[in-house]
């Protein structure tokens, strides 16, 4: 089905193969995930939701509003992608939260697990700081990572092996503001 005029307006004319997860589907799943996370910790245990920027920013902001308990939020920036659609296998840590992770339960929030490089680099670094626990929550999981250091405890959707954009996910910094998740058509 061709993209609607509204979609093309949002993408600046770039065509999508299809919309993979629409707004309603995402909202329903994110609400469920929030409840699941809340249920995993005792109400008096300190909880820090740590978002991996930039990709997780929309997911995280929707998610924390569905976790009905006290929590703290912080962010970390790690990028494994250059400007294109293929992974460089290289992880840059651009911002490291100065706040202590000690004696806190950490939920690390990712937009998508692809090659797993980012997580494999980050998990040991965060573990070194002595959190009470460290769990991963990802909106999307491609299930292609060969030796993922740790499986995410919470997965929103098992994603198709396509390049996805929207709801925080970008292609060369474009499309993060799409309210849905779509699959980008290759340049012809």
Q: Where on the chain is the footprint of Mg ion (CB under 5 A)?
A: 55, 111
Asked if 168 and 57 count as a contact pair (C-beta separation under 8 A), the reply is yes
Cβ-in-10-Å burial (0-12, 13-18, 19+) of 59 comes to buried
SS3 state at 187? coil
Among 115, 126, 141, 155, binds ligand IMP (CB under 6 A): 115
Catalytic residue among 114, 158, 174, 187: 114
Cβ-in-10-Å burial (0-12, 13-18, 19+) of 55 comes to buried
Q: Which residues contact 37 (CB under 8 A, 6 or more apart)?
A: 63, 67, 107, 137, 154
SS3 state at 111? strand
In the bound state with ligand IMP, the residue whose beta carbon lies nearer, of 75 and 163, is 163
Among 117, 126, 134, 141, binds ligand IMP (CB under 6 A): 117
Question: Is 114 annotated in the active site?
Answer: yes
In the bound state with Mg ion, the residue whose beta carbon lies nearer, of 55 and 156, is 55
Provide, rounded to whole angstroms, the least separation between the CB of residue 1 and ligand IMP. 21
Give me the 42-71 binding string for ligand IMP, x by CB under 6 A, dash otherwise.
-------------x----------------
Considering only residues 91 to 110 of the shown chain, the ones binding ligand IMP according to CB under 6 A are 110
116 binds ligand IMP (CB under 6 A): yes
> How many whole angstroms separate alpha carbon 59 and alpha carbon 74?
14
11 binds ligand IMP (CB under 6 A): no
Considering only residues 140 to 169 of the shown chain, the ones binding ligand IMP according to CB under 6 A are 163-165, 169
Beta-sheet pairing, 16-21 with 133-141? unpaired
Catalytic residue list: 114
List of residues contacting ligand IMP (CB under 6 A)? 55, 80-81, 87, 110-118, 163-165, 169
């Amino acid at each position: 089905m061709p993209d609607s005029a509204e979609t093309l307006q949002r993408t600046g004319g770039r065509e999508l193969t299809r919309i993979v997860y629409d707004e309603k589907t995402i909202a329903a799943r994110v609400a469920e995930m929030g409840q699941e996370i809340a249920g995993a910790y005792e109400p008096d245990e300190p909880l820090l939701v740590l978002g991996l920027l930039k990709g997780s920013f929309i997911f995280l902001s929707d998610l924390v509003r569905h976790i009905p308990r006290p929590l703290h939020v912080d962010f970390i920036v790690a990028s494994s992608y250059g400007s294109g659609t293929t992974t460089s296998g290289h992880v840059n840590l651009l911002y490291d939260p100065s706040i202590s992770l000690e004696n806190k339960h950490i939920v690390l929030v990712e937009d998508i697990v692809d090659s797993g490089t980012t997580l494999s680099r980050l998990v040991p670094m965060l573990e070194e700081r002595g959190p009470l626990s460290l769990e991963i929550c990802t909106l999307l999981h491609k299930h292609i990572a060969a030796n993922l250091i740790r499986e995410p405890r919470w997965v929103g959707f098992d994603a198709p092996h396509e390049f996805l954009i929207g709801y925080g996910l970008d292609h060369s910094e474009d499309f993060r503001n799409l309210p849905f998740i779509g699959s980008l058509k290759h340049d012809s």
